[in-house]
Amino acid sequence: MPHSSHAKRTVGFIGLGVMGSSMAQHLLDAGCRLRVHTRTAARAQAFLDQGAVWCATPSQTAQGSEAVISIVGFPADVEEIYLGENGILAQAAPDTLLIDMTTSSPTLARRIAEEAASRHCHALDAPVSGGDIGAREARLSIMAGGTVEAFERAYPLLQLMGSNIVRQGPAGSGQHTKMANQIAIAAVMLGVCESMAYASRAGLDPAAVLRSISGGAAGSWSLSNLAPRILAGDFAPGFYVKHFLKDMRIALDSAAELGLETPGLALAYQMYERLSQFPGGAELGTQGLYHLYAKQPAAPDPAASSEK
């Protein structure tokens, strides 16, 4: 049954990829009337079949919508859909709520918020963490930056998509928080892949090793959710390598602006950059980093090479 509080809400939604499609579905299931736009129009068909309205441009999603939500690929995409000639702010009526859930630049988030305020709209940068599983199960962690008023207005919609929703501060704070999140993940993914590669190279059963270590001090979301995919040979993207590289580049630039050295992040970026150079590497999920370890030649057996 649709939630009565959402049954008559008209919401624009831009970006129906791995994450966005599940997030938009939760809004539809709650009874929201959706106006959708996505770069690959075929991805919208399932939503049109459920009554959503197709919009040919980002600006059209704002027409008649009390809120517009976006989750796209790169900061350049965010800038285009909000500030471009056919962007959201070109058509958004005063008092429209704008929620960008893309992982993007803190500086760009502040620019959008300032432009929105000049047009009497309310902007929130609200990037997410939790991958395809979190999006599908509406258990995303949502990190928000913006005014208290914008956050309070957005909260009922955010609740439909996430379970850990925190306002971190003014515009740009959500993006800064997501950078902290990605910095933590970057180092963890190195550890997850190295751990599974080590277990395999040592002749252990990696699945048994995973059962032992995932519940102890080594435990993490990535170990519990992505290591099993590695062991199953599943490298499909819950989160693309190409998008993780984008996030780490933003984090490296932001850290440099803050005067902070991040050697762990820099190493992870270098490793993922290497992976992206392989055919199809950029389109893998972040667990695809394991390929760099699996392809390393084994050390020669000392016993086999010793003189008789």
Q: Phi and psi at residue 235, in whole multiples of 5°? A: -115, 20
Write the pLDDT tens digit of every residue in 127-154.
Answer: 999 888 899 999 999 999 999 999 999 9
The pLDDT of residue 301: 63
Write the pLDDT tens digit of every residue in 73-86.
Answer: 899 999 999 999 99
Which regions of the chain are under pLDDT 70? 1-7, 300-308
> CA geometry: angle at 36 spanning 34 and 37, to 5°?
170
The pLDDT of residue 2: 42
The structure tokens 């990829």 sit at 17
Q: Phi and psi at residue 94, in whole multiples of 5°? A: -50, 145
Query: What's the whole-model pTM score?
Result: 0.89
The pLDDT of residue 304: 55
Q: Phi and psi at residue 106, in whole multiples of 5°? A: -55, -35
Q: Which of 8, 178, 242, 246 is catalytic?
A: 178
Active site residue 178: yes
